[in-house]
Structure 1
Amino acid sequence: MAPPKKSGRALLREEGLERTDNNLRTHSWPVIPMINQKNYYTEYLKREEQIMVFRQQQEDLLRAQAALLEKEKQVSMVADPMAMDIDRGAEEGEETAEQEEALGSKVIVIHTGSQNMRIGLASDALPRSFPNCIARKADKAEYEEEERCPKRMKVAEENEDSDDEGPQFGEEFDSQFNAMSNELKVRMRHNKRRILPNSRDLVLSYNRRTPPETIKEHNDPYRVEWTDTGRNKAPDHFVGNEALRVPDNSDPRYRLFWPIQYGTFNERDYHSKRRVLEDISVILEEGIKRELNIEKKDLKLYSAVLVVPDLYDKNYVTEMLNLLLKEFWFAQVCIIQESLAATFGAGFSQACIVDIGAQKTSVCCVEEGMCLAESRLNLKYGGRDVTIALMKMMLSYSFPYRDINLRRRYDFLLAEELKAKYATLNDSDISVQAHDFHLRAPEQDTKKYHFKTYDEVMLAPLTHFKPTILSHEEKLTGRRSLWERSYDLYDGQPNDPLSTAQHSLYQSLMPRPSSTGNDSTVNMGAITPARPTLAGFGGFGAHLTAADTTPRSSIAGSPAPEGTPAPPGTTTPLVPGPGGIPHPGSVGAPQPTGPTPMEQAEDRDRVVPIMPLDAAIVESITHAAKGEEKKIKDFLASIMVVGGGSLVSGFNHQLEERIRALKPSKDYQIIIGVPPRELDPMVIVWKGASVFGKLKISNDSWIRQNEYDILGSRLLTYKCLWTF
């Protein structure tokens, strides 16, 4: 007889498999239910009150309103309210004027240039300017270590003492120099200017056979007072004009340093970051103490307005901000861009600003108090390149002082003086003219040289429109040797600002690979850059370029057959396999290929950005207008040239003619404006920064000490008027 059947529960109980727990949890951690993905919402960083910077501004505003209400309550308690209203209005007017004056007197505006530094109180009419250089003790002076400037060829050095031929600077320079001279002759004939056929021969013969005159020191009324180094107690450094007047053969020796070059830190002549920042700190401290009579310990009561380039290195801005807040302990710091400051100084609401400095030229369009980001251009040439070009051209015409070397301080000052006196862009000034200058060197008698000039005084400043004749060999030396480029915190990509106008400039200058041979082994420095192409040159009206209006295919191309090896530098796309998992070697939808952002940044660091100035202005306006005809007309009619490089006589007229030649249509009125109220173009940027420092709206842009201690340079994202 078979045993009776048992239920499943009985079997579990007999075999010990029945669950006997009491539903107690095995842990004490709280169980968080899953978020319903269909309807969830967060307010994190969605309101300004959740950001410390904006919240602190609101708290300051509420405090000021509370103080004002308290003051009004005290006033309302007076017996005669009518009389008190009149008195209160008068007092408030007086207090407002006093507050504005007090605000300007407690704000120091700083504009650091490659050659000059301009500082001053915002309440001052004009800034104090001095050379942005420092002379420090060294084993050798700069002229003893570096090659002569302008650089001579070896063959020319052998023939330099002979009367047959002056120093030459290479066949390429001579050919471009002669081409520019012939173009000038054609231009002058077209303008009905008289030209002597043997003008160059007259200049050469006169300069070769005229010896200098020696003038004793007691007969020279304009003798130079050189800086006394003091052999026994020689100071460690000299700053500004004193540094430029230190004798080159002094005992002990001093070497001249320029901590700012081409709008950023000088990485060519320095070997450490700390020394660069220390020199900037010493120059700024000495300048504030001498020019403004303010001690460093009192700067905690002052605010600072820092002027930075339109296209800047982020490391430069963050290091300068840290220097002002942590080395000088300013109460607060505000940052403004050069082109925006120029419009504030000139009172323009819309303009195309062309800033010609000593070593860089920047072009940017400004509209309604904002720099149009895509129009910014930064060109690495300026007034100092014109000085070197003038010396080359004068030496080609047998300049009597053949041993001139801009590495020597007194020769550098002499060259700047000759450029300021004789450089011109007026056709009427071009003829064979006799001049003289005095060479004053330390511990030597003054020598008076007589010389003649012809067309070199006009061809030198014309290099702004033909920058390929300039020497750009050493402009990238030491680049990124001290400071690496700035990287994004999230994706690790380079994040220094780059406009579309500057990007198109780099693209036009990138070397073209040879048609024969392997493209991957092309030497970047051995290839002549491609000729710059202008966006929208065919017509300002429609769009940026003709290519932008043409429908284009995908940049990735068509997929290759399976098994075909991918070209170098590309990645093989993956397609989902079974279960949605991609398997290697599969070919599916094409992905964009080409150089990575890091490779593009490295390529840009190997190219010197140069372009004719007239073409650069057209390029900037084209990218700023984005095809709008009205904006193009407005910007072309409101071009303003500022900076020391624009002081050449006839520069604005020459620039206007060349821009009109690029676009001869009568629909566009081209006007090159000048700063109002007869302001010096060199100080217009500083003047605008001083105006900005006194505005009430600029309170939102101040970076205070307590905020910087918490967030550091990240504050620039919230405080700058532009996208940092």
Structure 2
Amino acid sequence: MPGTGRKKPFSQAMPEPALEPVHGNAIVVIQPGSLNLRLGRAADTFPHSIPHCIARRHKQPGKQNQYEDPYLLRPKDEHSQAQTLQEWGLKHATQHLANATTQTGQPREAVSEEHLRKLNREVKPELLDIRSPAKWTDTAIKRDYLIGEEALYVNPKDHYCLRWPMRQGAFNLHQYPGGTPTAVLQDLETIWSYAIQNFLGIPLKDLKHYRAVLLVSDLYKRQQVREMMTLILTRIGFSAAFVVQESVCATFGAGVSSACVVDIGDQKTAISCVEDGLSQKKSRLLLEYGGRDLTRCLYWLLNRTGFPYKDCRLSNRIDAMFFQELKEKNCHLDKDMFGVEQKEIRVGQPNCKLSKYRFYMGDERVLAPMAMFYPNMLGLIGTNVCKNMDRYCSDPADTLDEDYLMQTMSKHEQAARLVALRKKESATAVEQLSQNDSSIIDEAQMDDDDTMDRPEGPTSEVPSTGGISKLIRMMEEEEEGVDISEGLMGLDEGICRSIERCEGEDMRRRMYSRILLVGGGFVFEGVTEWLGELILKHIPPHIVTSLESTDIVYQPKDIDPKVTSWKGAAILCCLDTAQELWIRQGEWHRYGVRVLRERAPFIW
């Protein structure tokens, strides 16, 4: 009879996807980076890249100490400079560089800091009768917000506040105004909508005829992915969308089936081993440093050698952008390039006259990129500087969420799970849990057979949330076989740590044989040779003997490493095999986050 039967399971109730393949012109690929938003049609050769920031006009212009997200410096409450650590890291990097030789086997000639300071002490600024080509953004119209380049060049004296909605591949959440999830989503909606209209020329009302592909970090946060999908399908209004991990897209962009993907961005370094289009979750690793940290390191090194531009402050947005450019133009990892070299720079604030300096640089050009291998030079202190994939994240909207399942599981079932877990885990872990929830352990300490045969009572008291969370965490650690956090490690060590977590020696051998570098945070000449030598020292001897070569893929098919992942997503979404991944707008309204368990091309 109608209304008396049980509901069908979600996987049976959901209709089969029947979307027809569309041309790449009707698909928009969105890669929301922490520094740049890369966006374009799947048929485009290259994406549009704009600074992923927004400047909003103050609602109370007279209020002092308005918070602004820093462009280059880290937030004060995140990590602080540790001078002792920096000096210790610099000492080891300098020793390594002193022992390095050129391609012909000749030793490199080191340049002392004292010699550079003596040369730079004589440098005097020359005021030019030329104004800076950069201009402050005209805010006379008093627009409510400015996007991208216009936002970057807003005069700090104007009543605008600069925000960066993404940080280290996730939402930029903090305690100040603009740091709530609601505010971040509002900023993302404004930036993406502006870019779609002004760079792609698509009116928002026509997006019902378009689909979208969203690239997310391998160490994604499920609630944030859900919110971004809701933003794309509900608030912005695309007809369909699907989400894919950046490392998987990188392999499609490079045209390889398997690789250890190393994505070095502006604020983070993500490492993941990909095999046949699947990211191995045990191998996912996040290092909380990237290109901007190398810029800060270069600033520190140059000041040690008497950098003549004394008024330079990284807290000044214009100076920070100048130093980013100085790093990209001059830093390298080429062992054949050494000695003192004179450089000419022109500096000045927008709408002001320029000053010219002719100063001298030495080994700082190499030492700054070497901070990726000697991260103590970055002066980072604190916890969770290196993170693994942590899938525990309670989401009330997901009825298949681990926390929900544990809350609805009977006490009898929880006890049985703990008994099974005790057989695989050490007695210490169970004892630690017993201190938090003795009622569960009392059940678990019974005989396994008696526990399974005992009938369930009419009412079962659900354990405390803390005990349930710890049980979930223990089960995930047992299944994943990884730690939740790691200490600070260099890039070469992080790559090898990621590969060693792959299952099977054959897979590890394939990962060691092909390492794919993508992202724009580590674009330096000589990086492949340097990284290859360091990784070779970490590979286990029994694997080294069977390796034909370790191939560091840096510019596959001559593609800029900054756009490799975006290009791969553009290729992937047009394949026939990807048509089953699309999630319609109506399906998202009806099923919500549950549909991702059916359609996501990775284990949700």
**TM-score tier after normalising by the smaller chain length:** 0.7 to 0.9
Deviations 1:427-456 (A, max 9, x none): 122221111211120343211122211111
1:676 aligns with 2:552: no
Q: Separation in 2 of the partners of 1:107 and 1:416?
A: 33
Residue type at the aligned position of 1:128: H
TM-score (norm: length of structure 1): 0.67
2:89 counterpart (153, 167, 176): 176
**Matching residue of 2:333:** 425
Q: CA deviation at 1:274?
A: 2.1
Q: CA deviation at 1:225?
A: 2.9
**Matching residue of 2:570:** 690
Q: Against the structure 1 CA distance between its residues 566 and 351, is the aligned structure 2 distance closer, same or farther, given a 3 Å change threshold?
A: closer
1:255 counterpart (157, 161, 171): 161
Aligned runs of 1:379-528 on 2, under 5 Å?
Answer: 379-472=287-380, 485-487=393-395
Deviations 1:612-649 (A, max 9, x none): 1111211222222x2x3332222211111111123111
Q: Separation in 2 of the partners of 1:673 and 1:697?
A: 26
1:122 aligns with 2:35: no
Q: Separation in 1 of the partners of 2:595 and 2:454?
A: 44
Which 5+ residue runs of structure 1 have no aligned equivalent? 1-31, 33-41, 65-99, 154-167, 496-551, 583-592
Percent identity of the aligned residues? Answer: 31
1:224 counterpart (134, 138, 146): 134
**Matching residue of 1:643:** 519
- Secondary structure of the residue that 1:292 maps to in structure 2? coil
Q: Against the structure 1 CA distance between its residues 683 and 110, is the aligned structure 2 distance closer, same or farther, given a 3 Å change threshold?
A: same
- Secondary structure of the residue that 2:521 maps to in structure 1? helix
Residue type at the aligned position of 1:573: D
**Matching residue of 1:351:** 259
Residue type at the aligned position of 1:456: E
| Range with bigger deviation, 142-151 or 694-703 | 142-151
Q: Separation in 2 of the partners of 1:475 and 1:141?
A: 32
Residue type at the aligned position of 2:113: R
Q: Separation in 1 of the partners of 2:173 and 2:565?
A: 26
Larger Rg: 1 or 2? 1
Q: Does the Cα contact within 8 Å between 2:69 and 2:162 map onto a contact in 1?
A: no
Q: CA deviation at 1:149?
A: 7.0
- Secondary structure of the residue that 1:652 maps to in structure 2? helix
Residue type at the aligned position of 2:367: L
**Matching residue of 1:596:** 470
**Matching residue of 1:294:** 202
Q: CA deviation at 1:182?
A: 2.6
Q: Does the Cα contact within 8 Å between 2:113 and 2:304 map onto a contact in 1?
A: no
Residue type at the aligned position of 1:115: L
Q: Separation in 2 of the partners of 1:326 and 1:667?
A: 52
- Normalized per residue, which structure has more strand? 2
Q: Against the structure 1 CA distance between its residues 328 and 322, is the aligned structure 2 distance closer, same or farther, given a 3 Å change threshold?
A: same
- Secondary structure of the residue that 1:413 maps to in structure 2? helix
1:283 counterpart (191, 206, 225): 191
Q: Separation in 1 of the partners of 2:128 and 2:101?
A: 39
Q: Does the Cα contact within 8 Å between 2:68 and 2:162 map onto a contact in 1?
A: no
**Matching residue of 1:660:** 536
Q: Separation in 2 of the partners of 1:215 and 1:692?
A: 51
Q: Against the structure 1 CA distance between its residues 721 and 365, is the aligned structure 2 distance closer, same or farther, given a 3 Å change threshold?
A: same
Q: CA deviation at 1:402?
A: 2.8
Aligned runs of 1:314-325 on 2, under 5 Å?
Answer: 314-325=222-233
- Secondary structure of the residue that 2:313 maps to in structure 1? coil
Aligned runs of 1:152-231 on 2, under 5 Å?
Answer: 170-188=83-101, 191-195=105-109, 199-217=112-130, 223-230=133-140
Q: CA deviation at 1:569?
A: 4.7
- Secondary structure of the residue that 1:327 maps to in structure 2? helix
Q: Does the Cα contact within 8 Å between 1:380 and 1:609 map onto a contact in 2?
A: no
Deviations 1:507-543 (A, max 9, x none): xxxxxxxxxxxxxxxxxxxxxxxxxxxxxxxxxxxxx
2:14 counterpart (42, 46, 52): 52
Q: Separation in 2 of the partners of 1:576 and 1:174?
A: 56
Q: Against the structure 1 CA distance between its residues 395 and 234, is the aligned structure 2 distance closer, same or farther, given a 3 Å change threshold?
A: same
Which 5+ residue runs of structure 2 have no aligned equivalent? 405-422, 457-466
Q: Separation in 1 of the partners of 2:470 and 2:121?
A: 57
Q: Does the Cα contact within 8 Å between 1:227 and 1:242 map onto a contact in 2?
A: yes
Q: Separation in 2 of the partners of 1:439 and 1:559?
A: 62
Q: Separation in 1 of the partners of 2:583 and 2:124?
A: 61
Residue type at the aligned position of 1:256: L
Query: Cα RMSD (Å) of the superposition?
Result: 3.9
**Matching residue of 2:508:** 632
Q: Against the structure 1 CA distance between its residues 558 and 662, is the aligned structure 2 distance closer, same or farther, given a 3 Å change threshold?
A: closer
Residue type at the aligned position of 1:187: A
1:555 counterpart (426, 429, 443): 426
| Range with bigger deviation, 665-674 or 313-322 | 665-674
Q: Separation in 2 of the partners of 1:445 and 1:457?
A: 28
Q: Does the Cα contact within 8 Å between 2:102 and 2:335 map onto a contact in 1?
A: no
Q: Separation in 2 of the partners of 1:558 and 1:713?
A: 33
Q: CA deviation at 1:179?
A: 3.1
**Matching residue of 1:133:** 53
Q: Against the structure 1 CA distance between its residues 113 and 605, is the aligned structure 2 distance closer, same or farther, given a 3 Å change threshold?
A: farther
Q: CA deviation at 1:467?
A: 1.8
Q: Does the Cα contact within 8 Å between 1:248 and 1:408 map onto a contact in 2?
A: no
TM-score (norm: length of structure 2): 0.80
Residue type at the aligned position of 1:678: D
Residue type at the aligned position of 2:427: A
Q: Against the structure 1 CA distance between its residues 576 and 311, is the aligned structure 2 distance closer, same or farther, given a 3 Å change threshold?
A: closer
Aligned runs of 1:544-583 on 2, under 5 Å?
Answer: 555-556=426-427, 568-569=435-436, 571=438, 573=442
Q: Separation in 2 of the partners of 1:137 and 1:291?
A: 23
Q: How many residue pairs align between the two structures?
A: 540
Residue type at the aligned position of 2:95: N
Q: Separation in 1 of the partners of 2:290 and 2:566?
A: 19
**Matching residue of 1:620:** 498
| Range with bigger deviation, 386-395 or 265-274 | 265-274
**Matching residue of 1:720:** 600
Q: Against the structure 1 CA distance between its residues 377 and 494, is the aligned structure 2 distance closer, same or farther, given a 3 Å change threshold?
A: farther
Q: Does the Cα contact within 8 Å between 1:137 and 1:255 map onto a contact in 2?
A: yes
**Matching residue of 2:462:** none
Q: Does the Cα contact within 8 Å between 1:437 and 1:450 map onto a contact in 2?
A: yes
Q: Against the structure 1 CA distance between its residues 182 and 334, is the aligned structure 2 distance closer, same or farther, given a 3 Å change threshold?
A: same
